[in-house]
Structure 1
Amino acid sequence: MNIYLVCNVGMSTSVLVKRMRQAAETIELEAKIEAYSVEVLEKVKDEADVILIGPQIRHMSKEITKIVDGSCPVETISMRDYGMINGKNVLAQALAVINK
Structure 2
Amino acid sequence: MYAIVKIGGHQYKVEEDQTIFVNRLATDDESITLEDVLLIKDSEGNVKIGAPTVEGSSVTATVVENLKSDKVIVFKKKRRKGYRVKNGHRQHITQLKIEKIS
Using structure 2 for the length normalisation, give the TM-score. Answer: 0.27
Of Structure 1 and Structure 2, the greater strand share is in 2
- Larger Cα-atom Rg: 2
Structure with the higher helix share, 1 or 2:
1
